[in-house]
Amino acid sequence: MEQIGNQTGKQTEKEAEKKREKRTGRQKGKKVDGMDREIIQKRLGRYVKNAQMNVQTCSGVLCGGARCYFFLHRIGRGGTAQVWKAAGIPRGGLWALKIRNKTEDGLFCLQTEAELLEELTNTGKAAPGPLCGEFPRFQEYFQTREREVLVMEYLRGMTLGESLRRGKRYSAAEILEIAVSLCGILEKLHGCTPPVLYLDLSPDNIILERGGGLRLTDLGTAAAWRQRDKRDGFVMTGTPGFAAPEQYQGAASPASDIYSLGMLLRVLNAFGDETDERLWGVREKLQEVIRISTQKDPARRYPDIKAMKQVLEKSTCL
């Protein structure tokens, strides 16, 4: 009887545990990348208190060189990578983790993107990177058995693509403001030695920050272009609809970024808010900028991004 009673008791305990796991999605004591989940939760508890995070939304932990990262939710999924919002343990903070499965051919290597981001945004060295305010700051890069992980500053806000999908319509003045900001970032990239070509300007790679201002993400195509000699002729082509025709022939140049910016302005303009009649003159000028920057022949576009920026700046003053 006693034995049966014990067994029944154990079974009930087990069942209750199973039910609890099912409900919370967590397994008691299960090791995640070498760390006991209960230890992690204890540590996270402190963090949660400070940052008012909801533990229930977390779905896993990954440990890098600097700290462990507790996944909160996925914020992006592109052709080859996923981007997750994560909370740092034990020192907290919010981070964006770009994660890519390792491939045997190494063609979609995240390491080169991480190296470029570090070069452009590092703040740990004597002088900050030349684009540390224009891209999310690099934090660390590490590999697990199957994955590559790039950890960067988490940017609060939403992408331009998301805002368009939510129905936001931009006035000609707002479009010009976005255009001038993007020209400024491209000008800095093209001014690096050697020049960095971005080659992937599209609404989903532009983050409109919550406090105002705009930043770019995704240096994947830029990094691949830099490595083109080592890649046996393999070229990444950016986003269809925005990438310049010459990119498909592996002949990118700074003019390719001018083309993508022109295409982006065309999209913003096509869905534009035309209610303010005072801005019709600005819209006409904008259309001319779009026409010139999206010429098929790169030689017929603006000679450089600085020239395009100057025209846009003049268009803002009627």
Q: Would you tell me which residues interact with ligand ATP (CB under 6 A)? A: 75-81, 83, 96, 98, 136, 152-155, 159, 204-205, 217-218, 220
Rule CB under 5 A: say whether 148 interacts with Mg ion: no
Least Å distance between CB 152 and ligand ATP? 5
Query: Could you tell me the two tokens for 88?
Result: 């740092």
Least Å distance between CB 41 and Mg ion? 33
Of Mg ion, ligand ATP, none, which one does residue 155 interact with (CB within 5 to 8 Å by kind)?
ligand ATP
Which residue's CB atom is positioned nearest to ligand ATP?
78
Edge-to-edge strands of the sheet including 214-216?
157-159, 206-209, 214-216
CA distance 113 to 151: 11
Least Å distance between CB 87 and ligand ATP? 14
Nearer to ligand ATP, 88 or 136 (CB): 136
Nearer to Mg ion, 205 or 227 (CB): 205
Of Mg ion, ligand ATP, none, which one does residue 58 interact with (CB within 5 to 8 Å by kind)?
none
**Please, are residues 199 and 222 in contact by the beta-carbon 8 Å criterion?**
yes
Nearer to ligand ATP, 128 or 161 (CB): 161
Q: Single out the residue of 218, 225, 262, 294 in contact with Mg ion (rule: CB under 5 A).
A: 218
Rule CB under 5 A: say whether 78 interacts with Mg ion: yes
Position of tokens 């070229």?
Answer: 235
Of Mg ion, ligand ATP, none, which one does residue 135 interact with (CB within 5 to 8 Å by kind)?
none
Nearer to ligand ATP, 225 or 302 (CB): 225
